Structure 1
């Protein structure tokens, strides 16, 4: 990728990915940057009794950082020859920007956490070591991984990275106002017509709106995929470099028409683009139903002053449900570092996927377990008794059909494409015809793809 394209890419990365960590680090964490010798993860002189150092750059700030650090500490205590050092690097966008400055050199971290929309970029960079190498070398059984998660990071039969923190969207609703409106709180809307009908009954003028979706491209992608719709051509960019956007299809138009119709009816609340704003609107009773990340369910249940329900994404009437796309991030192994360090990094990656570790991660972070056996652990069973809503998110994932639609699209200009969808949604609120808004967004993404493909060819 040439420098002009690289600059464009990183500017566009300012638009957050699904479930990006919104917590800010303390000043001490932000300044805790590795030196050149510390960051490279080079093999230490084990003849002197030192360990192979594995530097792990991540974006898990706030409450998630202590959880991750504890997992790393438990791994290190069990090792005689390996020591993993987790280093917080800011947001996903900031972390990727820093990684780009050292990628492919001995100063690169051994392990790097990258958000899902950076997948295509990482593959094309040539600066990473696909984990498939180690899977093949020891005939590692990847069937123990959740296929509907690992499939996102697999292209052409090659597993490029190991899934780590993964989430999907769900419908969250206020059970108390369901009862108040004469709706069954145990029967949330599953189709568009049911959603629109429920929203009408739940709306009380400007005091309370029935439904809302954050103006964020990820939710559109999910509502498209659950119908089996693709975002771009070339089998969603998985059979070659995508040339054209195809989200302005019948499936995409259904989503935009749903939003337009409900907005005109006064049952849909335009909350903007801020995650905190839509969650606050729900908790205050301003909206009765909305879409959120599965990773946020536990916090919503804890903070809402009413009984919270969680359900699958609604689908258009008479459309067969396909399932959801994974959001979140995965961990990648650097190329250009010593093989011994890569092997040590692989040992840590395998440790992360064990049922015990994944059970702890699921319970304390809200993200899915990469290894489904984790759900059989006692701590998970106890958590599900307290939060039955969490099981709903897992059930929706397990009911997902593995297709090119639910695997998710692969394009290097994803951040820009998501912003085009946001603009299109905002145009709807201004009265633009849904088809016109969607077609315009598709044309703009086509141009971005054309530029990106030409840059890659050069």
Structure 2
């Protein structure tokens, strides 16, 4: 009996040890899980894991394929950081997603935002200016394209890192030029020259000239005359409070388009990029304005010889140049310091000449680092597509000014829609000045509303 009691006591003590061991094991497991969850959310690394960051972007198609390759190569090039590239839809779709997490630890380390979102991003409080990191390590930005940096520099501070950059160009059908008795190696340069060439190029099946009904092209045709879009030096010396695009330069653009519309030489293919590009390759229009990023695609798709030229400008001014378009990369504020460090290292990697050469060739966007144009693979491609050099020459010949640096307003998407409305009314016969004035009035209302909301 006594032995039985001893055995029962021993078993009870043993059970307590087992229970304690299991509890301790579960506790350790829970602690580890908790730590890992924290790491997953904050991007902190363990002894063996790299620091992971999210990169939200809006690239699709071949641009996304090229970007995915670049990101994978960065991740393979070192073992300290890992970038997760995540497609978030179009620019317009991704920005609301950022608003919901901006300024918190849940925000992506890097977000791609279109150029007209610059003012909004600066005012949002969501971002850490790239200048912070440039100053911290004395990073040499003189190696980068100045006429691209100009757009994203405000008060001598670079707020975001340029990424996919493009400008408008005029693309034309060289075969149609020959048939019309025009010099296929000399595209019309001024508004009047385009008007006259369009008359000669017009046939029963082909319009002489076209421009997408899109505000970006209007902005460019104003800027290349040296004209401003809004007051206060395009919103760069102080917050813009009034539109000025309805002045002389804007009216020159609308009169230019109205003249060809009245002559029957203008082709109106609406607001869809695919439609106007399809019209060009189908020889429904001889000249049109497109993005420099679309040059290679048009050359490959067209069954005729394609020429590329600078965008036209008004006859009574000197050519000022173009405004950069596309998007840039923004660093989130409120995330872990080491996540910002990882994002900065990735941004620097993107600017190397080798990576920029790959990006330029894979997408048609400009190389942010001009040294990329000296890479042999780029030289080989330019030998095949000499039209690429025209796009770069136009960018590099741009004269720095408040006009060509572009306007800063937080309601740019709304303003562009007003320009679309004005263009549509212009083509329906409305007076050019009235159409412009109405667009300016609506833009001013939007700016006033946005400013009150900020206050």
Q: Same fold (TM over 0.5)?
A: yes
CA contact (8 A) 1:192 1:258 kept: yes
Match of 2:56 in 1: 57
Alignment map for 1:400-415 (pairs within 5 Å)? 400-415=398-413
Match of 2:99 in 1: 100
Match of 1:137 in 2: 136
Match of 2:291 in 1: 293
1:38 Cα deviation after fit: 8.7
Unaligned 5+ segments in structure 2 are 1-36
CA distance in 1, matches of 2:373, 2:295: 17
CA contact (8 A) 1:213 1:291 kept: yes
- Per-residue CA deviation, residues 245-281 of structure 1 (Å, 9 max, x unaligned), is 0001111100000011110000101111010000001
Match of 1:17 in 2: none
1:37 Cα deviation after fit: 7.0
- Per-residue CA deviation, residues 345-383 of structure 1 (Å, 9 max, x unaligned), is 101100000000000100111000000000000011000
CA contact (8 A) 1:172 1:290 kept: yes
Match of 1:212 in 2: 210
CA distance in 2, matches of 1:37, 1:404: 46
**SS of the counterpart of 1:340?**
helix
Structure 2 length as normaliser, TM-score?
0.91
Unaligned 5+ segments in structure 1 are 1-35
1:426 Cα deviation after fit: 0.8
1:327 Cα deviation after fit: 0.6
CA distance in 2, matches of 1:451, 1:324: 29
Match of 2:43 in 1: 42
Alignment map for 1:48-447 (pairs within 5 Å)? 49-205=48-204, 207-447=205-445
RMSD (Å), alpha carbons? 1.1
CA distance in 1, matches of 2:63, 2:42: 23
- Per-residue CA deviation, residues 227-249 of structure 1 (Å, 9 max, x unaligned), is 01000001101112110000011
CA distance in 2, matches of 1:214, 1:222: 13
CA contact (8 A) 1:400 1:406 kept: yes
Structure with higher helix content: 2
CA distance in 2, matches of 1:41, 1:193: 59
CA contact (8 A) 2:212 2:271 kept: yes
CA contact (8 A) 1:37 1:107 kept: no
CA contact (8 A) 1:40 1:108 kept: no
1:80 Cα deviation after fit: 2.1
1:204 Cα deviation after fit: 1.0
1:318 Cα deviation after fit: 2.9
**SS of the counterpart of 1:210?**
strand
CA contact (8 A) 2:116 2:413 kept: yes
Segments of 4+ moved more than 2 angstroms: 36-41
CA distance in 2, matches of 1:443, 1:202: 37
User: Highest Rg: 1 or 2?
Assistant: 2
Higher mean C-alpha deviation, range 118-127 or range 61-70: 61-70
CA distance in 1, matches of 2:197, 2:296: 24
CA distance in 1, matches of 2:40, 2:309: 43
CA distance in 1, matches of 2:82, 2:445: 46
CA contact (8 A) 1:56 1:110 kept: yes
CA distance in 2, matches of 1:364, 1:92: 20
CA distance in 2, matches of 1:442, 1:58: 32
Match of 1:18 in 2: none
CA contact (8 A) 2:172 2:288 kept: yes
